[in-house]
Amino acid sequence: MSIRVQAETFDPGAETGAMHAANVGVGAVVTFIGYVRDFNDGLDVSGLYLEHFPGMTEKSLAKIAQEAASRWPLLKTNIIHRVGRLEPGEPIVFVGTASAHRQAAFEACAFIMDYLKTKAPFWKKEDTPEGSRWVEGKSSDAIAAERWK
């Protein structure tokens, strides 16, 4: 299990490759990569600031990864989340899950993202032509997380 919270960008290709390196028991790797869009809620977005709760952030991501490992037979879990200033097109988040078979990897990856979206202490602030604004939480994210209960 690897958890990283960092300001620096990451290479999604290299991270994906590392998911099965040194473990030939891995038969399936599923990855999710979230990117900064240049448009949200009717306004152009020229950049993003990601605030987090240092200390709690890593703990909450580790807890989510552990919960996934207790539900599915995972061989590797990798979560990377950026913080600080980000530009449109940059990757924000990487979640990789590796398992012997695809079903566990698919489900665990979706589970981790749904829980990360609703439980990990990150907040986005967008720069728009009308000034900067905090992104509001979506009820669709809460509903998505509910399905794993």
Q: Which residues make up the interface to another protein (CB under 8 A)?
A: 34, 50-53, 55-56, 59-60, 81, 92-93, 113, 116-125, 134-137
H/E stretch holding 115 reads helix 102-119
Q: How far is the CB of 66 from another protein (least distance, A)?
A: 13
- Name the CA radius of gyration of the chain, rounded: 16
Question: Of 20 and 133, which has the nearer Cβ to another protein?
Answer: 133
Nearer to another protein, 47 or 121 (CB): 121
Closest distance between another protein and the C-beta of residue 11, in Å? Answer: 19
If the CB atoms of residues 21 and 53 are measured against another protein, the closer one turns out to be 53
Measured from the CB atom, the residue of 11 and 51 that comes closer to another protein is: 51
What is the nearest approach in angstroms of another protein to the Cβ of residue 97?
A: 15
Q: Which residue has the tokens 């998911």?
A: 19
Distances (CA, A) of 103 to 14, 19, 20, 95: 23, 16, 16, 16
Distances (CA, A) of 42 to 38, 75, 128, 129: 11, 41, 10, 11
- d(CA 6, CA 110) in angstroms, rounded, equals 22
Least separation in angstroms between CB 24 and another protein: 31
User: What DSSP designation does 135 have?
Assistant: P
100 vs 144 by CB, closer to another protein = 144
**Least distance from another protein to the Cβ atom of residue 93, Å:** 5
Biggest CA-to-CA distance, the chain:
52
